[in-house]
Amino acid sequence: MTGRVYKSTGSWYTIKTQLGETYECRIKGKFRIKGIKSTNPIAVGDIVDFNLETDNNETTGIIHNIHDRTNYIVRKSVNLSKQTHIISANIDQVFLMITIDNPPTLTSFIDRFLVTAEAYSIKTILLFNKIDSYDDETLNEVRYLAHVYRKIGYECIGISAKTKKNVDKVKSLMHGKVSMFSGHSGVGKSTLVNAIEPSLNLKTKEISTQHMQGQHTTTFAEMFDLSFNAKIIDTPGIKGFGVVDMEKEEIGDYFPEIFELKQDCKFNNCLHVKEPKCAVKDALDKDDIAFSRYRSYLQIIEGEDEHYRTDIWDK
């Protein structure tokens, strides 16, 4: 049988088949996945094959195969062991919720988020929430940011979770897909999910910081089926994606506008900082690249990893 992992307690996995049947399943013996050293071999979102076993009238499953992942997100434990924990796998898209104020979302946060999502091969859609509450000046800021991010290929939608403006647009994008919602605490994730599916009560706020820094074996994610053929992965307490180990030279590849220009730079190992005849800096001078994006790029290549790490976990 084949199914998707909806929930995991560490040793037991709740797996649902396409027909909607749910089974509690385990892994028997050693189970290693090539190339990934993680504390959990299987994560929420994984698609697995399993056999049923009946013991004392109780039917459970034994997982014997895991399908290749299209992507997965990890977190590294904060302690010295630096073990990797896979939070979830096979995510079709993440909606990054942004507010201009109350709370403010900085472009440096957006850009770090997008770099990590690109590195993970996860499509991101930007939702500018709370547009019902903005004055003209703030709305202009939304328009400007939407322009910056649309230009480099990201879909941007202005919404109001409160008045439900454009919530139907979000729902139609979710159809047939596995989605995640991210963004700073207070941007309106719970309000939006509630507007999308009132009966679903996500636990977005239940995990404390202490919990986050505790045992890395804890699994936070859980998958839910919505009423309109959409799936959502809830990752309580996680507002970002964690740190991805990247080489300096690789970071520009995750900025679509830099990636597009880099073959025009004189040096093929150009970092677009001080090198002569750099196509990226030329584009910046011509305003073809947004200054805020370039500034984020510099911040990331100059490396503030520790800052980044504390920045992305909910406090």
Given the rule CB under 5 A, which residues bind Zn ion? Answer: 265, 270, 272, 278, 280
Site for ligand GDP in 121-160 (CB under 6 A): 129-130, 132-133, 160
At 117, which helix (H) or strand (E)?
helix 107-119
For residue 84, the tally of other CB atoms under 10 A from its CB is 18
Among 54-62, 170-178, 180-188, 279-287, the segment contacting ligand GDP (CB under 6 A): 180-188
Strand partners, 42: none
Residue 306, C-beta contacts closer than 8 angstroms, at least 6 positions apart: none
CA distances to 124, 267, 297, 302 from 118, in Å: 8, 24, 14, 19
Q: Which is nearer to ligand GDP, 42 or 97 (CB)?
A: 97
CB of 75 to ligand GDP, least distance (A): 19
Two structure tokens written together for 26: 């385990």
Q: How many residues does the chain have?
A: 315
**Of 231, 190, 235, the residue nearest 85 (C-alpha):** 235
Number of residues that bind ligand GDP (CB under 6 A): 15
160 binds, among Zn ion, ligand GDP, none (CB under 5 to 8 A by kind): ligand GDP
Two structure tokens written together for 211: 């919990």
Which of 153, 186, 214, 303 touches ligand GDP (CB under 6 A)? 186
Q: Would you count residue 189 as binding ligand GDP (CB under 6 A)?
A: yes
CB of 280 to Zn ion, least distance (A): 4
161 binds, among ligand GDP, Zn ion, none (CB under 5 to 8 A by kind): ligand GDP
Two structure tokens written together for 233: 């992965």
Q: Contact residues for ligand GDP (CB under 6 A)?
A: 129-130, 132-133, 160-162, 185-191, 204
